[in-house]
Amino acid sequence: MTYKKIERVLPPVDPNWVGNGFRVHNFFPSGYRISKEMSPFYLMDYNSKIDLKGTDEPRGVGVHPHKGFETVTIAYHGSIAHEDSYGNKGIIGPGGVQWMTAGAGILHKEFHEKSFQKSGGPFQMVQLWVNLPSKDKNAPPAYQDIKHEDKTLIEKDDGKVKIHLISGQMDDKKGPASTFTRIDLWDIELLKGGEVKLPVRKDSNTGLLLVEGSVEVNEEREADQDHFVFFNSKGNGNNIGLKAINDARVLYMDGDPIDEPIAQYGPFLMNTMEEIQEAMMEFRQGKYGHLE
């Protein structure tokens, strides 16, 4: 058994506000220039845990478009209300996941859920942008709402490690989310001392976000809360080893790279600048629907 090589353990960059509701550390593409090495994951915004005071003022991001990719939003503390121009709406509660395929184009808004907004409390979440291959960039917009209990549970080390599969496969079990390319996205909880070996492909792109606690990775490096472990995709290792130094929670992401050109402008992720211009024109012409 060989471990996949750790390239770097990345500390969180300085946070910035997205709208007035999300104070995020953008690990990539802005914080660290690793989007190519993390494909199909193009962007990761991480709202580390903060305590918010209750307010009557709505907190969040107003109506905005997306095209050419998927957003994956995971709530750990607090709750988020969302709505789109196709009539979909819902609430992402603690442990819940919203997997939105923007595809051919959609309008979207997301705010703190009203009761949480008024009461306040701890808030923590992650949003990933998952690229789509060129053949799927005009896929019909769609939603997958996944509650924590809907994830596929695998237990290891006498229950000290709980692996909740969001997408992908482990031990012949599959997560509930469907994907356009192979993506393993797992929510992992470890009790202090819990150990696990995660199978990983040799040519895939892999990362770990430490949501809570600290872990020892591959018996060599410690990774602390709010840090991101970035692996070398060129090595020949086929496992990642985790041992919890204290109670910990880890977001594990692994996927097959999409080897295509990328053009990104604001909320659009396409292959060429001509396609970006076309997306902007479609938005101006109202082709993504209507949302107030």
Cβ neighbors of 80 (< 8 A, separation 6 or more) are 60, 73, 91, 92, 98, 110, 111, 112, 113, 125
What secondary structure letter does DSSP report for 204?
Answer: S
Q: Domain range for residue 228?
A: 6-255
Chain-centroid distance, C-alpha 10: 17
At 235, the pLDDT band (50, 70, 90 cuts) reads confident
d(CA 43, CA 37): 12
Whether residue 239 is contained in a domain is answered as yes
Whether residue 263 is contained in a domain is answered as no
Contact of 100 with 67, CB cutoff 8 Å: no
| Nearest alpha carbon to residue 66 among 49, 48, 82, 50 | 82
CATH number at residue 143: 2.60.120.10
Q: Span 65-72, mean pLDDT? A: 98
Whether residue 77 is contained in a domain is answered as yes
Whether residue 33 is contained in a domain is answered as yes
Q: Where are the alpha helices (DSSP H) in 46-159?
A: 114-119
Q: Tokens standing for 62?
A: 């107003």
Task: With a cut of 90, say whether residue 234 has pLDDT above it.
Answer: no
Number of domains in the chain: 1
> Residue 183, class by beta-carbon neighbours within 10 Å (0-12 exposed, 13-18 middle, 19+ buried)?
buried
Single-letter amino acid, residue 23 = R
Percent residues over pLDDT 90 in the chain: 96
User: Helices then strands (H, E): number in the chain?
Assistant: 3, 26
Whether residue 18 is contained in a domain is answered as yes
Global pTM reads 0.97
Question: 27 phi and psi, to 5 degrees?
Answer: -65, -40
- Express each pLDDT in 137-182 by its tens digit: 999 999 999 999 999 999 999 999 999 999 999 999 999 999 999 9
Task: With a cut of 90, say whether residue 17 has pLDDT above it.
Answer: yes
Whether residue 275 is contained in a domain is answered as no
Whether residue 186 is contained in a domain is answered as yes
What is residue 280's predicted lDDT score, i.e. its pLDDT? 97
> Residue 40, class by beta-carbon neighbours within 10 Å (0-12 exposed, 13-18 middle, 19+ buried)?
buried
- Express each pLDDT in 56-68 by its tens digit: 999 999 999 999 9
What is residue 1's predicted lDDT score, i.e. its pLDDT? 75
Single-letter amino acid, residue 184 = D
At 83, the pLDDT band (50, 70, 90 cuts) reads very high
Residue 139, beta-bridge partner list: none
More reliable by pLDDT, 88 or 92: 92
**Residue that the structure tokens 């202090």 belong to:** 192
d(CA 169, CA 139): 24
Lowest mean pLDDT among 56-60, 189-193, 198-202: 198-202
Terminal alpha carbon distance of the chain:
54
Whether residue 241 is contained in a domain is answered as yes
What is residue 233's predicted lDDT score, i.e. its pLDDT? 86
